[in-house]
Chain A
């Protein structure tokens, strides 16, 4: 079987690109680092915008990264239906770029949060959750200062109606509206989430619950969920 080739975009200040690439290769696919000045995504089957502090998070997280040359290519790739995943800072870039609705504000309580969280799959209408089950609980770490998801009422209604809220926090850590941890675009091929599934790929480091999300994203094998006893 041909391996899928996943482009992991690297901005100045990204710092989770190696973890993201490792998650991809762990599942048998290939990862290619894509420097932010590149303007084409030839031969790429999926794009990951990893966590970190793109362009130092100056102005606002993601505010400057959205103007990086690569983002034009990412937008075209997404418009053609290509799968795009934004993790943490990558999620912030996607909302700033207008590729996902809403915005991410400073956490309620103004504290930087770095802890395992339980998130619940609330929709399988996305490339990130298509292999999971609604109601499935996953333990995935968060690591952010600006992760409080916000949007206006109209946008929220739309998100609910189209099943675009794909992941919710079981115990809301940051003040996100409606416990939102991850959202998809209407087509479901662009997804962003604040938790780090690439850091939940092995029970050795606390949790392997990121597997089901990466398997979904890579379209590996959509296996039925087996509840651990």
Chain B
């Protein structure tokens, strides 16, 4: 069956995140205070045909590590999502 999978790709800890810090610096100007540790990333969503949730996640994780993320600077995590 088809499983709806969401993959989040974020920069690894310690890797500078100019997008995240720029967003963070812009927030107070808009009146949003008390927001910190902003990180920018990417989100992918797709259907995976598999026999089980576990198998779907395994496949999604493999393709996320191979293509969707660059393991040198990014972490990828896959989860089953709700439509």
Which residues from chain A sit less than 8 Å from chain B, CB to CB? Answer: 59-60, 63, 67, 95-96, 102-103, 105-110, 148, 150-152, 175
List A contacts of B67 (CB < 8 A).
59, 63, 67
Contact with A along B66-83 (1 / 0, CB 8 A): 011010110000000000
List A contacts of B70 (CB < 8 A).
60, 63, 96, 103
Contact with A along B50-66 (1 / 0, CB 8 A): 00000000000000000
A151 to B68, CA, bound (A): 19
A-B contact pairs, 10 of them (CB 8 A): A60-B70, A63-B67, A105-B16, A106-B18, A106-B19, A148-B16, A150-B16, A151-B72, A152-B72, A175-B18
A148 to B16, CA, bound (A): 10
User: Does B15 make an interface contact (CB < 8 A)?
Assistant: yes
Nearest A-chain residue to B71, judged by Cβ: A103
Q: Which of B16, B67, B68, B70 gathers the greatest number of chain A CB atoms within 10 Å?
A: B70
Q: Tell me the minimal C-beta distance from B17 to chain A in angstroms.
A: 9
Interface residue from A102, A108, A110, A175 paired with B72 (Cβ < 8 Å):
A102
- Pairwise interchain contact B19-A175, C-beta atoms closer than 8 A: no
List B contacts of A148 (CB < 8 A).
16
Q: Which of B18, B67, B72 gathers the greatest number of chain A CB atoms within 10 Å?
A: B72
- Pairwise interchain contact A110-B18, C-beta atoms closer than 8 A: yes
List B contacts of A109 (CB < 8 A).
18
Known A60-B70, A95-B72, A110-B22; 14 more pairs at CB < 8 Å: A59-B68, A103-B72, A103-B73, A105-B15, A105-B18, A108-B18, A109-B18, A110-B18, A150-B16, A150-B72, A150-B73, A151-B72, A152-B72, A175-B16
